[in-house]
């Protein structure tokens, strides 16, 4: 039997291999292209700024991978992140110590995020609708809190999260690595991770197998909230001010990164490591197009196209699986 499986290196199997590792292959492709077309790309300072750019996305990407794997989606994540940023900015104006600010932000984010799942469960609503509405709520709240203007004078701890170094490595990058590794272990080795995949793959089957589907969904959302809080502080710290306008773009970038990374919309499987490469792809597009002095409007267009291609590839690989199954 073992022999038989090894022999099956047909054209379809090769295609599947490429589709499965598409994020990694895209990263290599972009790397080579940018190396050849610019001389500023492969400099230490550019690579370092690239790493810091993707650090924030990498952190929330971990939470979002769990969310997509459980067959859910959250459109409100971006504005919630902004709202948490503004809250951290307001708290910075008080005499509260950094640890207190951090904890308050985490608690608020986890609460708001799990409320999404609680509402979805309670009223049996699709996540898309609930989070679409909540996005508007968060947006309003953040405008109310900030009066529409960014807040500077952030707590030093927040600045350190975004700009600090430990040895030669930016703290935010270190944080991202920790999240990716911990997220990978949580996803692939633990009971919680297995529950998430089962809930995303077939909630009915998961339920009759004794898995608490609703509870799992709330936990996943809470986890996303946790990563949102950390990401909010990192990205506010990076620019040393709490912004009010970044919300919408962030969600698109994250969803794109996770899907390109290999976690399908529709759930049932996922890869935290893939999400890292997905974030790299998104980061490389922005970075590369900046270096090539392409207008930011074209960057939007190209990102949109890349997301579309990623989703199409996802459906395509399902079809190839189908074809392989029919051949058996």
Partner 1 sequence: MKILEVKGVSKNFYQTHALTDVSFHLEKGEVLALAGENGAGKSTMMNILLGSFPPSKGEMVLNGEPYEPKSPHDALQKGISMIHQELCLVPSMSVADNVWIGRCGQFSRGGIYMPSLCEKRTQQLFDDYEIELDPKEKVKDLSTAQMQMVEIARAISYGSRIVIMDEPTSALSDKEVKVLYKIIRKLTEEGVSVLFISHKLEEVFDLADRVTIFRDGHMVEEREVGGLTMEELINGIAGRKVENLYPKVMTALGKVLLEVKHLSLKGVFEDISFQVRAGEVLGFAGLVGAGRTEIMQSIYGIMPADEGEIYVDGKKVENRSPREGLNHKIAMVTEDRLRQGVIKKMNVQMNMTLAYFYKICKSGFISRKREEADTEAMIKELRVKTAGSRAPIWSLSGGNQQKVMIGRALMTGPSILIMDEPTRGVDVGAKSEIYGYCNELARQGMAILLISSDLPEVMGMSDRVLVIRQGRIVAEHDRREAEAEEIMAEMFGLPGREKKEEK
Site residues (vs partner 1, CB under 8 A): 1-2, 4-5, 189-192, 194, 197-198, 201-202, 204-212, 268-269, 321, 325, 328
Nearer Cβ to partner 1 (66/79): 66
Query: Residue 170 Cβ, how far from partner 1 at the closest point, in Å?
Result: 31
Query: Residue 70 Cβ, how far from partner 1 at the closest point, in Å?
Result: 12
What does the angle CA 260 – CA 262 – CA 267 come to, to the nearest 5 degrees? 115
Query: Residue 72 Cβ, how far from partner 1 at the closest point, in Å?
Result: 16
Query: Residue 155 Cβ, how far from partner 1 at the closest point, in Å?
Result: 33
CA pair distance 290, 130, nearest whole angstrom: 35
Nearer Cβ to partner 1 (22/303): 22
**Residue 96: CB atoms within 10 Å:** 14
Query: Residue 203 Cβ, how far from partner 1 at the closest point, in Å?
Result: 10
CA pair distance 79, 146, nearest whole angstrom: 13
Token code pair at residue 274: 């893939």
Nearer Cβ to partner 1 (216/235): 216
For residue 256, give every residue at least 6 positions away whose Cβ sits within 8 Å of its Cβ, in sequence order, or none.
278, 282, 303, 306, 307, 310
- For the chain, what's the residue count? 328
CA pair distance 207, 50, nearest whole angstrom: 43
Nearer Cβ to partner 1 (1/36): 1
Nearer Cβ to partner 1 (91/186): 186
Residue closest to 278 by CA, chosen among 292, 263, 265, 296: 263
Residue closest to 238 by CA, chosen among 115, 154, 142, 326: 154
For residue 124, give every residue at least 6 positions away whose Cβ sits within 8 Å of its Cβ, in sequence order, or none.
none
Nearer Cβ to partner 1 (36/208): 208
Query: Residue 149 Cβ, how far from partner 1 at the closest point, in Å?
Result: 44
């Amino acid at each position: 039997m073992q022999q038989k499986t090894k022999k099956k290196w047909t054209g379809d199997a090769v295609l599947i291999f490429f589709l499965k590792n598409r994020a990694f292959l895209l990263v290599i492709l972009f790397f080579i292209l940018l190396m050849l077309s610019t001389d500023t790309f492969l400099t230490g300072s550019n690579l370092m700024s690239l790493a810091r750019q993707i650090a924030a996305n990498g952190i929330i990407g971990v939470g979002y991978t769990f969310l997509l794997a459980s067959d859910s989606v959250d459109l409100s994540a971006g504005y919630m992140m902004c709202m948490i940023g503004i809250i951290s900015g307001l708290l910075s104006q008080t005499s509260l110590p950094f640890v207190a600010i951090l904890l308050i932000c985490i608690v608020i984010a986890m609460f708001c995020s799990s409320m999404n799942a609680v509402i979805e469960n309670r009223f049996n609503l699709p996540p898309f609708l609930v989070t679409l509405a909540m996005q508007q709520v968060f947006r309003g709240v953040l405008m109310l809190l900030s009066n529409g203007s960014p807040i500077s004078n952030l707590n030093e701890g927040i600045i350190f999260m975004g700009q600090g170094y430990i040895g030669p490595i930016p703290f935010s990058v270190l944080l991202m690595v920790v999240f990716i590794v911990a997220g990978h272990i949580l996803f692939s080795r633990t009971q919680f991770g297995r529950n998430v995949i089962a809930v995303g793959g077939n909630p009915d089957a998961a339920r009759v197998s004794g898995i608490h589907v609703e509870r799992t969904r709330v936990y996943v959302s809470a986890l996303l909230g946790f990563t949102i809080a950390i990401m909010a502080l990192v990205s506010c710290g990076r620019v040393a001010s709490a912004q009010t306008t970044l919300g919408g773009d962030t969600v698109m970038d994250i969803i794109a990164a996770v899907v390109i990374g290999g976690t399908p919309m529709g759930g049932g499987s996922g890869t935290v490591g893939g999400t890292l490469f997905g974030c790299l792809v998104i980061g490389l597009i922005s970075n590369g197009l900046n270096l090539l002095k392409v207008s930011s409007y074209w960057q939007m267009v190209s990102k949109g196209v890349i997301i579309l291609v990623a989703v199409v590839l996802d459906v395509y690989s399902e079809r190839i699986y189908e074809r392989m199954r029919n051949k058996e």
